[in-house]
Structure 1
Amino acid sequence: MQAKITEIHQQIADFQIENKEQLEAFRIAYVGRKGVIGDLFDGLKNVPQEERRAVGQELNALKEAAQNKFNEFQALMESASDKSVAIEFDLTLPNIPNENGTIHPLTLVRARIIEIFAKMGFNVSDGPEIESDFYNFTALNFAENHPAREMQDTFFIEKKGGNVADDMLLRTHTSNVQIRLMQNQKPPLRSIMPGRVYRNEAISARAHCLFHQVEGLYVDKNVGFKDLKDTLYYFAKEMFGQDTKVRYRPSYFPFTEPSAEIDITCLICKGKGCNVCKYTGWVEIAGSGMVDPNVLEQCGIDSQEYTGFAFGMGIERITMLKYQIKDLRLFTENDVRFLRQFEGL
């Protein structure tokens, strides 16, 4: 037994390992349970009792030597594999042609909206998408139990209990930016606020739980409803063409008084009626109104000295009308067949 152990020690030392196949052969021969060392352990029962302890210790040392050599070469090969990954190229394959991408239609329309309002002196403001109830509702004249809160199905992140104004949510409109703007800057203010908003709505051809809005705010001395009408008339003509018809309908919003909704002739059906305009021939593009004095006072602006107007519109709705797209879901599906239609615009 002693001579056999010495012989295997020498075999382990002399075994050449240069690739994974040789490493696996070494494992099978010396490390595996069915290898030569395993056979020696099986024969330990035939060793005389008085020699068994010493022989067992030598077998353990032999097993450890084999395992150490296996671990050493295994680590070396794994390290070499990580540093030099062989990449095989098939030089007979045809080349992959370079293809230009295109700007998403929502990005195109957003840029056009900003451009139109920039001509009228509006700058761009931004704010957080995760917002407190105060900025999303309370500061906009929504009382805690106001029924208008039910008009917007809200994604709440954290209900803090005690004070509703402290609850955290995903903003349902970009009006939160208007409040922050009025709190942090003094009039005159003239700005638009494009951005993503979230509402817990069923996804369909006309609605989505994530969409984009652009809201506008103008606060100064002697701002009247005529200024609002002129601003939105100019926008509609610039965006959709000089022949576009515009109408105003009285409406209600907690943060404006008086309030109005703006419709234009449906550009998809040319006023004949379709699923986008609910077969009326008209499509709403914006809500608007004069900023409620309570909102101005909430933000530290003297409503006796300053007045203002605000408006908000959905960028998806504007894009659907401009490019005659009938399904809102196409904007978020990333279908290249749809996106390629906007190349070169």
Structure 2
Amino acid sequence: MPLLNLKNQALALISQTVSGQELAQLRIAFLGRKGQLNQVFKKLDKVNYGRQFNETKQAIESALTERQTQLTGTTAEWFDLTAPGQLPPLGHLHPISQAIAEIQRIFEHLGFTRVRYPEVDWDHYVFEALNMPADHPARDEWETIFIDAPAHPKLGQMVLTTHTSNGQVREMERVKKPPIRMLNLGKCYRRQQDPTHTIMFHQFEGLVVDKGISIPHLKGTLDYFGRQWFGPKIKSRIRPFHFQFTEPSFEVDFTCTACNGRGCRFCKSGWVEVGGAG
């Protein structure tokens, strides 16, 4: 029974293999074109031994496949518990998050403390307490988004904050007496959308309340922020303006970073308006 002996020999050797390389060598040795199975079959009567030949070949192939699965499974299951793990690659902060962190760092260096107040607030904090009563025409420019919710008997309707100045009112209510040096940085919402405006945007502002504080302190703070944020050569200026909630009030400009204050297609005059102050 040469085929039976060959099968038993092959199965025994396959069961003793410990690597995929050994299995590959046995596959060639027994099932290759010049392998032992074909060599034995050449000497036999193909009519009488054809079926046994196929059964022997299938048995060896099945044994090779099964052993390959066993070896692969064993390799995959084993691992060194003491080996250091591989951390997933870290992502990056969103540019807006990076900007918020940098602005906070600049103002903290000046002694400001960042506070957080509601983005959905009562009309009282967003307008009334900032010298803009319900019938004041200055309200029109804010293009307010109102919340469909019951109004408060004293604080009025609920709105999405159109600016961060509601934080000034809430901070003074919270602290009650000077000194105050706070930075409010958050999202604002206005019912407007065009090439230069979006419905939601970020805004920040500071509030300082203390004895001896004057306009030169404000100008110095703006100069410091401009140099830290835009670069050491940046300059700032303030222009008289009118806001309902500050007196005196100013518009704040910085020299254009595109043309270094020489005047270009973007700025027209060498200056770029960045906000208000007072």
CA distance in 2, matches of 1:250, 1:170: 29
Root mean square deviation, CA, Å: 2.0
**AA in 2 matched with 1:284:** E
- Alignment size in residue pairs: 189
Q: Measured at CA, do residues 162 and 187 of structure 1 come closer, stay the same or move farther in structure 2, by a change above 3 Å?
A: closer
Q: For structure 2, which runs of at least 5 residues remain unmatched after alignment?
A: 1-87
Q: Does 1:196 align with 2:187?
A: yes
Shift of 1:159: 6.8
1:103-122 matched pairs, under 5 angstroms: 103-122=93-112
**AA in 1 matched with 2:172:** M
Shift of 1:99: 5.6
1:187 aligns with 178
Helix, strand or coil for the counterpart of 1:166?
coil
Is the contact made by 2:223 and 2:235 (CA closer than 8 Å) also made in structure 1? Answer: no
State which structure, 1 or 2, has the greater radius of gyration over its C-alpha atoms. 2
1:1-345 matched pairs, under 5 angstroms: 100-158=90-148, 165-185=155-175, 186-204=177-195, 206-271=196-261, 272-275=263-266, 277=267, 279-289=268-278
TM-score, normalization: structure 1? Answer: 0.52
CA distance in 1, matches of 2:198, 2:130: 24
Shift of 1:164: 8.5
CA distance in 1, matches of 2:120, 2:248: 29
Q: Percent identity?
A: 43
CA distance in 2, matches of 1:232, 1:160: 41
Q: For structure 1, which runs of at least 5 residues remain unmatched after alignment?
A: 1-97, 290-345
Helix, strand or coil for the counterpart of 1:114?
helix
**AA in 1 matched with 2:269:** T
- Superimposed CA distance per residue, residues 258-284 of structure 1 (whole angstroms, 9 cap, x where no aligned partner): 001110112134343234x3x333211
TM-score, normalization: structure 2? Answer: 0.64
CA distance in 1, matches of 2:136, 2:149: 18
Is the contact made by 1:253 and 1:259 (CA closer than 8 Å) also made in structure 2? Answer: yes
Shift of 1:225: 1.1
2:73 aligns with none
Is the contact made by 2:181 and 2:206 (CA closer than 8 Å) also made in structure 1? Answer: yes
Is the contact made by 2:187 and 2:202 (CA closer than 8 Å) also made in structure 1? Answer: yes
Is the contact made by 2:162 and 2:190 (CA closer than 8 Å) also made in structure 1? Answer: yes
Helix, strand or coil for the counterpart of 1:158?
coil
Higher relative contact order structure (alpha carbons within 8 Å, sequence separation ≥ 6): 1
Is the contact made by 1:124 and 1:192 (CA closer than 8 Å) also made in structure 2? Answer: yes
